[in-house]
Amino acid sequence: MALAEAGARGRLLRWPRVLLFGDSITEYSFQENGWGAYLADRLVRKCDVVNRGISGYNTRWAKLILPRLITESTSADSVVAITIFFGANDSALKDLNPKQHVPLEEYAANLKSMIQYLKSVDITEDRIILITPPPLQESAWEKACLAKGDKLNRCNATTGQYAQACVQVAKDCGTDVLDLWTLMQKNQDFSSYLSDGLHLSPKGSSFLAAQLWSRLENKVSALPSLLPYWRDVDHTNPEASLL
């Protein structure tokens, strides 16, 4: 059978998608031992895990580009879940990092704006998971800042205020939320979760993956495995199994 004929007979295979939208903590999530790579491995025969992490971005910029990433006409219906993971840059101290800083009230409003946009393209609240920024280990991040000739430009207490705002937005809008800032600090010494005081270490990535999977699993559990297991293919008539 010619390939063109096989394609005409068979239904187009469309992989559902889990979309990861965030800053550098998301962008780096496909690195070795990354939390995004873990999810992709768990879901490889069920859906694509798409990394749309953009290093250095805050919610002010993110809400502008979200409509360029997802529109109703570009298969928003195939998105089974989306994570929105911002705040580590928004919570930068205004005096020391005015470019990335976003005021607390605007941060919350931007998150709500992104949720409203997703709803407008029929991605419902039950498919959205907000993730708060992780805690900041100030001494390690100060060392990273000094190495670049900068002063310490974030503090953990301020990051916590943004985390609380993220949790409140989720309550107000009816979405899931993963309060990473609080959960990581249940272990008093959370420094091992971070590689440089801000970004996740392999241990932190594993922690996030496990916490996120518990919230994601019910959203993807009903997805069928795409294409039959190889032992179930009728080798005498593969078209019957595969088209």
Interval 213-234 mean pLDDT? 87
Considering 23, 90, 176, 199, which one is annotated as catalytic? Answer: 199
Q: Residues of the chain with pLDDT > 70: what percent?
A: 94
Report the distance separating Cα 74 and Cα 83, nearest Å: 18
Determine the straight-line distance between the first and last CA of the chain, rounded to whole angstroms: 12
> Which of 134, 227, 231, 141 has the alpha carbon at shortest distance from 186?
134
Per-residue pLDDT tens digits for 33-59:
999 999 999 999 899 999 999 999 999
| 113 a catalytic residue | no
What local confidence, expressed as pLDDT, does residue 137 receive?
94
> Which residue's entry shows tokens 């594993």?
206
What mean pLDDT value characterizes the chain? 91
Could you give the domains of the chain? 17-220 (3.40.50.1110)
| 126 a catalytic residue | no
Considering 78, 179, 192, 196, which one is annotated as catalytic? Answer: 196
Helix axes 59-69 and 104-120, enclosed angle (nearest 10): 10
Of 98-112, 152-166, 226-240, give the lowest mean pLDDT range: 226-240
> Which residue's entry shows tokens 């187009």?
12
| 101 a catalytic residue | no
Q: What is the token pair recorded at 194?
A: 């971070």
- Is residue 4 very low, low, confident or very high in pLDDT (cuts 50, 70, 90)? low
Per-residue pLDDT tens digits for 145-154:
899 988 989 9
Burial class for 205, CB neighbours closer than 10 Å (0-12, 13-18, 19+): buried
> Which residue's entry shows tokens 């179930």?
232
> How many helices (H) and strands (E) are present in the chain, helices listed first?
10, 5
Position 20 pLDDT exceeds 70: yes
Count the Cβ atoms, other than its own, within 10 Å of residue 43: 21
Considering 24, 113, 192, 206, which one is annotated as catalytic? Answer: 24
CB 228 within 8 A of CB 241: yes
Position 81 pLDDT exceeds 60: yes
Q: What is the token pair recorded at 38?
A: 């873990």
Q: pTM of the full predicted structure?
A: 0.91
